[in-house]
Amino acid sequence: MESEDSVRLRLEELHKDLGKKQRFEEAVSTIISLLQDRYPTASPSLRKSFYSVICRVATVLKTRFTAPGFWLSGLKLFEFSLSLLSEHSERQHLQACVAQAKEILHQIDNPSPSPESTSNGGYLFEGHLTVDPEPPQPQWLVQSNLLTAAAAALSNAESSQSPAENSNTSETVANILQALNGNFDDVIDGIINFETDSGTPKVPPASKEVVAKLPVITITEEVLAKLGKDVQCAICRENLAVDDKMQELPCKHTFHPPCLKPWLDEHNSCPICRYELPTDDHKYESWKEREKEAEEERKGAANAVRGGEFMYI
């Protein structure tokens, strides 16, 4: 039987092979065989080496090799690894990898229909039929339309003398009020989500257009040597390797593109320095501009006070 040092060297070679498209699937298959043969009796340090190479598979799938065949190989590895690994944090990560692989393979097998293929593919806008489906109405507009309909129904009821018509109108108003009540919770949630208890708005996701234009760089031997051997993506904590694709924020910090997008959707700030990207939310951007102006006024007032103090000294 091979010594643990020999297995560790093989894992390091496989780690490199995972970056080569023509050898990726063979490397994954070899990792599964090694897991089956050596993981149950492996030392804690060797188990960490196994987990590291499994994480590398996940990173390569998310950043480079996205074809269905590669994802199928990765899914097989992740599911097999789950039957062996026992550490809670490692199992959580693998469960997330399994879920992502299944989701991606499902999307490939069941692509969503294009707008042109749907029966209600467009809507009339300024005299022209659009290609995309009509976007959902904002909740405030839904509420306004329901209130208008309720008012109109009550007005008709007042002018009507027929008991039958009054009965139909009462039923209509009841239905409108029920719909109004159903939408009310959504509107309140929107208000609560926009402002916290301190009056500071919740930061919306980063602008999709801005994120799409962020530069993508490829890690080379020279770049890796400059960054250091153990440099990581600050989001997934995976060590960087040669040929990794990294997306660069204006603050010059870089992250794996598949890691960065969901992070910016939820937090919209650099995980390292908290640099904030522009959003598509005009209300939030207006608030931010007002805060900036108010901060400048506060600084100006503070400087004026300090200047006055110096005059009286």
pLDDT band of residue 110 (cuts 50, 70, 90) is low
Domain assignment present for residue 117? The answer is no
Residues facing residue 201 across a β-bridge:
195
Number of domains present in the structure of the chain: 3
- Residue 40's domain spans which residues? 4-109
Domain CATH code at residue 234: 3.30.40.10
pLDDT at 170 over 70: no
| Same structural domain, 56 and 16 | yes
> Distances from the Cα of 111 to the Cαs of 103, 104, 107, in angstroms?
12, 10, 5
| Same structural domain, 221 and 185 | no
Residue-wise pLDDT for 50-81, tens only, equals 999 999 998 888 877 778 888 899 999 999 99
Domain assignment present for residue 305? The answer is no
Check if the beta carbon of residue 157 is closer than 8 Å to that of residue 171. Answer: no
Percent with pLDDT over 70 in the chain: 65
Instruction: Name the 3-class secondary structure at 239.
Output: strand
Instruction: Name the 3-class secondary structure at 254.
Output: strand
Judge if pTM exceeds 0.75. no
Domain assignment present for residue 233? The answer is yes
Residue 192: the pLDDT is: 46
Choose one of 227, 247, 266: the last residue of a domain. 266
| Cα R_g (the chain), whole angstroms | 29
Residue-wise pLDDT for 111-144, tens only, equals 555 444 444 444 444 444 444 454 555 555 555 6
Check if the beta carbon of residue 281 is closer than 8 Å to that of residue 194. Answer: no
| Same structural domain, 170 and 225 | no
Residues facing residue 239 across a β-bridge:
232
Residue 128: the pLDDT is: 46
| Same structural domain, 99 and 176 | no
Residue-wise pLDDT for 142-164, tens only, equals 556 666 666 666 666 555 555 55
Residue 51: the pLDDT is: 92
Choose one of 69, 87, 109: the last residue of a domain. 109
